[in-house]
A and B are shown apart, each in its own frame.
Chain A
Amino acid sequence: MTTRAQTLSRCLSDYLHHTWQSPTDVTDLARIPGGASRETWRCVARAAGTARGLIVRIDPLSSLIDTDRRTEYLTMEAMYRAGLPVAEPLLLEEDSRWLGRPFSISAEVPGCEASPEGIPAGHRVTMGRQLWCLLGEIARLDPLALGLDRFMSLPTVATCAMEQLEYWRKVIVDDELHPNPVADAAVRWLLKHPPPPPQKLSLVHGDYRTGNFLYTPDGTIKAIVDWEMAHIGDPLEDLAWSLDPLWHWQQPELAGRLLPHAEAVRHWEEASGIELDVEAFRWWRIFASLKGMGIWISSSEDFHNGASKDPILAIAGWLMTDRQQQILLDYLRPAPTRRFHEVMK
């Protein structure tokens, strides 16, 4: 065990002892690879004769995305209450005195994998159906009935698209290390061709895609993870993000490497009760790629400035920026190669 893990084990034991009012022993602490927005650890906590697997998400010094831990935690609580598959949120601690930074703790979902590479080929279609049906179910929920407006800003149907565009435009302007002529062209196109208002406002996960769910070896999705960019907005935003070509780079014919795009859209339409507006969807697909650029540019800036030395930030800034630019270029140029257009409905 590393020194960091030993210290963390001891600090977590102290914290849980204090919080649960029972002596607690934290063991088997191991950092989980892949988490780019929070430092994520798995451990076992033993208290009052009971052992429980926990996931600890610690605020980073720097991350891919500047996110709000409270929004993430409260959204997970709301989803858990609504019966959606999310890990049970247990504790939110915003006082830095325990671990040096704020953190949250949720129950471990046992026996699960997260790696897209590990998805058994025989389960891809059924997992794809689950993935887009679940997204449709999230879109069907009423954000006000869930109380999401208590901790999220509530846009109007008229403003939600442009608010998101302005947010990510500003991220790019603030964080870019070099000029980005393709991203700039995308911003101008999006401003010039605003989408029609959504049929309804929904909870938007913000990073809904293959890689952000936990599944068992029998192909059952047990938990949707990484809710840190959740907000209220147009449900097409999540659908477009989930279908961005970046998530199926090696297998462009399979949405999220799982099933044909038209099937993914059909499952989403059936579960959400929303008929896809093709023109609006085009806007959100271009927006999704621009948002991707914003995330990769921002992470690149963090790496470059030494705010984080995590290699995942550098990969995002180099490889992901390269691929996202290829996608945006193909969407926008007057004579597209249509490498990515076939996936539009």
Chain B
Amino acid sequence: MIPRGADGIRHLAARLVADIAPRAGDSYTSADLNMMALLVTMVAQDYDRVADVLVSDYNDICEIFHEALPHLDDAALASRMESVVGLNAPSLRVHDQSTRTDAALRVLIELHAAIEDLEDHGLPWAARLNGRIWAYLARYVARRTYQMDG
């Protein structure tokens, strides 16, 4: 176990760029190594944040579902939302957390489409909820943003 894994992975990327890629025998291999180094820097960022990203996403989506449920007439959609709210991931492993968040995202997409239609009918609560979903999507995108040098 490497507790400071993100730092360690970043060091590997730096070594690839500074020491190994310059010794590549041809431009194709050099380009390949530099791309791998870039990927490794992204892996370093994900290593540190992925659990937080997945759990935060799930919790945000559940809050949106709680707010939407009292307004929805679509019983089938409401049932799917309630199922998601009650989901327990079998472990804290990334794969299990990812599966649970993906399940929540799929139902959120359905809800978003339904809310857009309801907003078109001039329902104020739908407009408010649509705004909340977009605010969540902004957080969803921000959580996945890679910080790159240059």
A residues with a Cβ closer than 8 A to B are 30-34, 178-179, 181-182, 184-185, 188, 250, 311-312, 314-315, 318-319, 322, 325-326, 329, 332-335
Does B112 lie within 8 Å of A184, measured CB to CB?
A: yes
Does B42 lie within 8 Å of A319, measured CB to CB?
A: yes
Does A179 lie within 8 Å of B106, measured CB to CB?
A: yes
Q: Mark B105-134, 1 if CB is under 8 A from A, else 0.
A: 110110011001000000000000011001
Contacts A179-B109, A181-B140 given; does A33 touch B27 at CB 8 Å: yes
Does A188 lie within 8 Å of B113, measured CB to CB?
A: yes
Does A325 lie within 8 Å of B141, measured CB to CB?
A: yes
Does B138 lie within 8 Å of A333, measured CB to CB?
A: yes
* CB neighbours of A179 from chain B (8 A): 102, 105-106, 108-109
B residues with a Cβ closer than 8 A to A are 26-28, 30-32, 35-36, 38-39, 42, 98, 102, 105-106, 108-109, 112-113, 116, 130-131, 134, 137-138, 140-141, 144-146, 148, 150
Complex partner residue of B146 from A181, A312, A322, A334, CB under 8 angstroms: A322
Does A185 lie within 8 Å of B112, measured CB to CB?
A: yes
Give A32 to B26 CA distance when docked, in angstroms.
10
Give A181 to B27 CA distance when docked, in angstroms.
38
Number of contacts between A and B (CB, 8 Å)? 75
With contacts A184-B112, A332-B134 known, what are 14 further pairs, Cβ within 8 A?
Answer: A32-B28, A179-B109, A181-B109, A181-B140, A182-B141, A188-B113, A311-B38, A312-B35, A315-B35, A318-B42, A322-B144, A322-B145, A325-B141, A334-B134
Q: What is the distance, in angstroms, from B101's C-beta to the closest C-beta of chain A? A: 8
Does A181 lie within 8 Å of B38, measured CB to CB?
A: no
Does A315 lie within 8 Å of B39, measured CB to CB?
A: yes
Does A319 lie within 8 Å of B38, measured CB to CB?
A: yes
* CB neighbours of A335 from chain B (8 A): 131, 134
Does B102 lie within 8 Å of A181, measured CB to CB?
A: no
Does A178 lie within 8 Å of B31, measured CB to CB?
A: no
Complex partner residue of B36 from A311, A318, A319, A329, CB under 8 angstroms: A311
Give A318 to B35 CA distance when docked, in angstroms.
12
* CB neighbours of B105 from chain A (8 A): 178-179, 181
Does B42 lie within 8 Å of A326, measured CB to CB?
A: no
Beta-carbon nearest neighbor of B104 in chain A? A179
Give A322 to B148 CA distance when docked, in angstroms.
12
CB pairs A–B below 8 angstroms (20 shown): A30-B26, A31-B28, A32-B28, A33-B27, A34-B31, A178-B98, A178-B102, A179-B105, A182-B137, A184-B109, A184-B113, A315-B39, A318-B39, A319-B38, A322-B145, A325-B144, A326-B145, A329-B137, A329-B141, A334-B131
Kindly list the 9 A-B residue pairs having the minimum CB-CB distance in the complex, ordered from nearest.
A33-B31, A179-B105, A311-B35, A31-B28, A333-B134, A33-B28, A184-B109, A325-B141, A329-B141
Does B150 lie within 8 Å of A181, measured CB to CB?
A: no
Give A279 to B64 CA distance when docked, in angstroms.
33
* CB neighbours of B141 from chain A (8 A): 182, 322, 325-326, 329
Does B112 lie within 8 Å of A181, measured CB to CB?
A: yes
Q: Which of B39, B130, B131 has the most chain A CB atoms inside 10 A of its CB?
A: B39
Beta-carbon nearest neighbor of B150 in chain A? A250
* CB neighbours of A332 from chain B (8 A): 134
* CB neighbours of A184 from chain B (8 A): 109, 112-113
* CB neighbours of B150 from chain A (8 A): 250
* CB neighbours of A33 from chain B (8 A): 27-28, 30-32
Give A326 to B144 CA distance when docked, in angstroms.
10
Does B109 lie within 8 Å of A315, measured CB to CB?
A: no
Q: What is the distance, in angstroms, from A81's C-beta to the closest C-beta of chain B? A: 32
Beta-carbon nearest neighbor of B35 in chain A? A311
Does B28 lie within 8 Å of A30, measured CB to CB?
A: yes
Give A317 to B137 CA distance when docked, in angstroms.
19
Does A318 lie within 8 Å of B146, measured CB to CB?
A: yes
Q: What is the distance, in angstroms, from A186's C-beta to the closest C-beta of chain B? A: 11
Give A312 to B42 CA distance when docked, in angstroms.
13
Give A182 to B138 CA distance when docked, in angstroms.
9
Q: What is the distance, in angstroms, from B82's C-beta to the closest C-beta of chain A? A: 19
Give A332 to B138 CA distance when docked, in angstroms.
11
* CB neighbours of B102 from chain A (8 A): 178-179
Give A311 to B130 CA distance when docked, in angstroms.
37
* CB neighbours of A30 from chain B (8 A): 26-28
* CB neighbours of B112 from chain A (8 A): 181, 184-185
